[in-house]
Amino acid sequence: MMKVRDNLPQRRTNPTKTPTGSNWSQHKPDLRVDFHKHCAYCGSYDGFSHTYFEVDHFVPKSLFTKTGNISLCQYSNLVYSCKFCNNIKLSKWPSNDETVPNINNMGFVDPCTTDYDTHLYRTKNGSISWVTDLGKWMVEVGFKFDERDYAVKLLWELNQLRKAIEILTLEAKKYHPNSENYNNILNKSREYSEQYFLYRNELDEYYKIM
């Protein structure tokens, strides 16, 4: 089974900046690196400019500002997230206890743990599906991946093509521009680029009607 994200995000122990108060967005450049430029939840790539990427508080701000145990700028609670995942997740937190991310198969799993991938997976068409009941809750309620399936799949297809074109570009450099190998790679790359262009238009059209 494919994972939702290609690489597991890993938060650094010593962030570059030490913001306080409500300046948590100063952590965004570090988060972008630590989350490999992809949304921690849906795995979409931030380079398509389809949405603004945000800094999500894994334990929602509204919850812990009451108890005061977590600081707003605490790096270990921050997540690099696309606007869609962040906006749908909002302040959902079924346990109402900041130390309990999920209860009775409802709630969330820290996307920086391998545990995240035990609940969700990527289908061969690029959709996000579940393995467990908690995963089902995340798909249908927590992030509404099912409702967003069209965009989730398109963004995945685009990212696959982007990565393939990147590999071919590097590969082409190994050969002489007059060689057959070079031309084969170039043709393949053109084919992917055309497909990429079509998907890219499809995505733009989709977000226009949103």
Binding site for Zn ion (CB under 5 A): 39, 41-42, 82, 85
Q: What share of the chain is helix, strand, coil (3-state, %, to 5)?
A: 45, 10, 40
Shortest distance, position 172 Cβ to Zn ion, whole Å: 32
* Nearest distance from C-beta of residue 39 to Zn ion, angstroms: 3
Minimum Å gap between C-beta 41 and Zn ion is: 5
Between 56 and 98, CB nearer to Zn ion: 56
Q: Based on CB atoms, which residue is closest to Zn ion, 163 or 190?
A: 163
Name which of 37, 45, 38, 75 is nearest 59 in CA terms: 75
Q: How far is the CB of 46 from Zn ion (least distance, A)?
A: 10
Closest Cα to residue 3, out of 107, 168, 135, 92? 135
Tokens of residue 109, six digits: 């799993």
C-alpha closest to that of 114 among 3, 1, 190: 3
Pairing mode, if any, of strands 78-82 and 53-57? antiparallel
DSSP characters for 31-42? HHHHTTTB-TTT
Based on CB atoms, which residue is closest to Zn ion, 59 or 82? Answer: 82
CB of 83 to Zn ion, least distance (A): 8
Which lies closer to Zn ion via its Cβ, residue 37 or residue 188? 37
Q: Which is nearer to Zn ion, 59 or 172 (CB)?
A: 59
- Cα dist. 193→43, 80, 86, 159, 190 in Å? 21, 28, 30, 12, 5
